[in-house]
Structure 1
Amino acid sequence: MEARGERARGRRALTNGTKTRGTKAPPWSWDNLPLPVVALDEKLVIVAWSSGAERLFGHAEKDALGKHVDFVLDEGNERLELSGEDTESAGWRRIVRCTTRAQGSITCEWLGHRKGAAGAPSATVWFIRPLEEGDAALRLHDRVERLLDTVLGNMPVILWEVDHSGTFTFHDGRGLARMGVGRHHLLGKNIFEVYPDDVTRDIRNVMRTGEQSHSFAEADGRTWESWSVPTGEAGSVRSVIGLSIDVTEQKRSEAELRARIDLIERQRHVIRELSVPIIQVWDRVLALPLTGVFDSGRAAEVMEELLERVCATQSRMVILDLTGVDVLDTATANRLISLVRALGLLGCTGIVTGIRPGVAQTIVDLGVELEQIRTFALLRDGLRFAMRSLEAPRTTER
């Protein structure tokens, strides 16, 4: 009796504006409005029911008050938000399948308005408009439903929603088949109980901060890319709506590609070491035997590697042995001279050995000046000179 009295007082306050005991009700009433009106509290319990609602749904006020709104909703409504927690003005809109006694299942447009009144709990007032075949709102609703059904039925995605406690209120999409489960498999289950913390950590953050997020997670043996969007604000998030896409094959392909790139890099490193075989033949003495065609590209590579090695080993002498070089063009000869000069700037002496007759003739014909570069016929001679040069300062010190 007390509960019914509260609902009655709530209905009077909602229907009559701010009417309380000892005040006169305003001249208007919901019963005079052209649209059926229903008011719901925070738990979606019916607290007000106009005569228009009685005519539309076929239920008297005494039968409707105190019941959950599911009382007049079609069972096909898989996801429904009529609590009105985020409504601020009239026009908050929902397209809902309803059940009536006379017509059976019909589609209605619910327009919400958040309303609180003295003597009544904070409630959401809904103005209900039945939609006829061909109505623009119904056509738009049907189109959106078709688009959504097409996406969820044909793409490897999962569309889901959890409420503020983590309970699934929507769970659908073709991606569920890759998990080995059917549609709506997790409805009513709590995501924090179904999945470990490393999977749900991002959702907890969204609920705490009220900010959207984009993340990757491993679940059910698959890799999922997810976008999570909160409804409400930080500290009062009502639910989190998410879209998850199975990217297992993409991640596997990326991993294979990275492995191939790493392999190629390792192979390139080995080839570079073989093509630029820098050998430490004595304390602070490096030797670089060159073979084959010594073109401009290879000369640049040699310079980079050799200068780095000189700095790393604090070498004083570098022997460039050209015994195995068959061809030397003008640009490469100039690069060779530049290399020796660069060595000098590092405090290192460059020595050239093993110049073959053909290469020597080419150098002369090209007019390349080598007078300032120490040259020897044999690698052995160059090594002997390097060793003596390094020993001389030590003998002087003694």
Structure 2
Amino acid sequence: MSEASKLEGAPLIVIEADAGLVVTAWNRRAQLVFGTGAEEAVGRGLAEVLPLAGASWDALLAGDDGEPRVLEVRRADASWTIEVWSQALPAGVRLYAHDVGARVAAQARAALEATMLRAIKENLDVALWATDERGVFLYQDGKVIVDAGIAPHQFVGLSMLELYKDVGNNPLIERALAGEPARTYAAESHGMYLDTYYIPVAGGPGEPRLIGVTLNVTEAKRVENEMRSKLELIERQQEVIRVLATPIIEVWDGVLTMPIVGLIDTARTAEIMDSLLEAVTQTRARFAILDLTGVEVVDTGTASHLIRMIRAIKLLGAEGILTGIHPTIAQTIVGLGVDLTHVAVYAKLRDALKHCLRAARKA
């Protein structure tokens, strides 16, 4: 087989050029990669057929040291990344090359991912780790690791199941190793609160089987606890305010009075009713006085609720008494058509107390 036939059937790109770098041979592989036939390439300058980006064929071949070079060929119709070896010939040069665009792109992506991963590990409150199928650490790094006083990769070769067995997560880790994704929330470890994602991956013996991402949520937990404490304080304060707003006073044996001040709506009236009925039951009071002197306006729903409260007091064996009804409230009650014939109503609290004392003496 002739030399020309060998070059034509070679699996690599093979190009020959004379001393002036004019193309003299162009094999089939070169035609397939660059989309240019031999009849079109032969006789033209190498730099014209395959123009380089940021380099020149003359300088590269003049300083050739026998090592392969990765070059970018950029034409108007397309571009390629090729790895090239050169061989000196008596009357020129022979180039061997292959397309490495996919490899270079993959290397660039890998380098970018490595840069991103390093930035994440060094700047965010995370730890990244991986174990094999037995739960033995293969990798361990990240800012959380450093903040915990642990050297990067310090636990590599050690069993996660043994190191953290006291945390109580071993059943969860074992399920994750078996292929079930999992997550733990605000688990306390190394003096911090940590959220951890357990991500199963496919792998053979000794290869990564479980990938972990651990987030330091200590600050978020602190804020959460602080907010919970504030909410509890607010709730306690609201309870105190409710008690102060509707105090129940035992002014005499068996006589309760509840002075109501401010605006009252249906919701507040329900609270008042619950508190008053409970107090009547606990003290076994015979009289319960609702003093409305400090209330100027109620809606029809609230007025109905007040009347029901008086009836409920009666069902407990006590007498409900209304005092200090404002004219507008009286109009609302009348508008409802409520019969107050059997309800003791007084203008002043003093009159209501006198009524209770008279009734108590008769009893």
The TM tier, using the shorter chain, reads 0.5 to 0.7
Q: Secondary structure at the match of 2:225?
A: helix
1:350 to 310, 313, 320: 320
Q: CA deviation at 1:305?
A: 2.7
- SS of equivalent residue, structure 1 residue 327: coil
1:184 equivalent to 2:184? Answer no
Aligned to 2:265: 296
Q: 1:289 to 1:200 in 2, by over 3 A?
A: closer
* SS, match of residue 320 in structure 1: strand
Partners of 1:131 and 1:229 lie apart in 2 by 37
User: Which residue of 1 is the match for residue 167 of structure 2?
Assistant: 198
From 77, 100, 105, the equivalent of 1:132 is: 100
Q: Which runs of 5+ in 1 are unaligned?
A: 1-33, 35-101, 104-129, 392-398
Structure 1 equivalent of residue 192 of structure 2: 222
> Structure 2: how far apart are the matches of 1:289 and 1:295?
14
| SS of match in other structure, 1:290 | strand
The one-letter amino acid of 1:132's match is V
Alpha-carbon distance in 2 for matches of 1:177, 1:272? 50
> Aligned equivalents of 1:226 and 1:334: distance in 2?
56
Superposed, 1:144-159 pairs within 5 Å as 144-159=113-128
Aligned partner of 1:262 in structure 2 is 232
What's the counterpart of residue 380 of structure 1?
353
Find 1:163's aligned residue among 125, 129, 132. Answer: 132
Does the alignment pair 1:248 with 2:218? yes
Amino acid paired to 2:136 = T
State the 1:315 CA deviation.
Answer: 5.7
Checking the alignment, whether the CA contact within 8 Å between 1:164 and 1:207 is kept in structure 2 is no
1:303–1:339 Cα contact (<8 Å) kept: yes
Unaligned runs of at least 5 residues, structure 2: 1-10, 12-66, 69-97
Distance in 2 separating the partners of 1:352 and 1:199:
62
1:320 is displaced (CA, Å) by: 1.6
Aligned to 2:144: 175
Whole-Å separation in 2 of the counterparts to 1:362 and 1:227: 64
Distance 1:293 1:200 in 2: 55
Q: C-alpha displacement at 1:209, in angstroms?
A: 5.2
**Which residue in the other structure is 1:305 paired with?**
275
Change over 3 Å in CA distance of 1:280–1:202 after alignment to 2:
farther
Q: Which amino acid aligns with 2:100?
A: E
Structure 2 vs 1, CA of residues 259 and 330 (structure 1 numbering), >3 Å: closer, same or farther?
A: closer
Q: Cα 1:198–1:365, aligned 2, differ >3 Å: closer, same or farther? A: closer
Q: Alignment partner of 2:122: what SS?
A: helix
- Is the contact between residue 316 and residue 349 of structure 1 (CA under 8 Å) also seen in structure 2? yes
Matched, 1:274 2:244: yes
Deviations 1:62-113 (A, max 9, x none): xxxxxxxxxxxxxxxxxxxxxxxxxxxxxxxxxxxxxxxx99xxxxxxxxxx
Whole-Å separation in 2 of the counterparts to 1:280 and 1:237: 77
The residue type paired with residue 228 of structure 1 is: Y
Q: What does the per-residue CA deviation read over 1:276-309, in whole Å, with 9 as the maximum and x for residues that have no partner? A: 21245677x4623315435336444323432454
Contact map agreement 1:278 1:286 (CA 8 A) in 2: no
Tell me the distance in 2 between the aligned counterparts of 1:341 and 1:217: 54
Deviation at 1:197, TM superposition (A): 1.6
Distance in 1 separating the partners of 2:144 and 2:282: 55
User: What amino acid is aligned across from residue 236 of structure 2 in structure 1?
Assistant: R
Q: How many residues align?
A: 256
* Percent of pairs with identical residues: 32
Output the CA distance in 2 between the equivalents of 1:310 and 1:206. 58
For residue 26 of structure 1, what is the aligned residue in structure 2?
Answer: none
Q: Residues 385 and 188 (structure 1 numbering): CA distance in 2 closer, same or farther, change over 3 Å?
A: farther
Q: TM-score, normalised by structure 1?
A: 0.53
RMSD: 3.8
Which AA in structure 1 matches 2:193?
A: T
Cα deviation digits, residues 247-281 of structure 1 (max 9, x gap):
00000110111111111111111111111212456
Name segments (4+ residues, structure 1) moved above 6 Å: none
Per-residue CA shift, 1:131-163, capped at 9, x if unaligned?
A: 935534444434443433333233211110122
Moved more, 155-164 or 136-145: 136-145
Larger Rg: 2
Cα distance change on mapping 1:199 and 1:367 into 2, 3 Å: closer
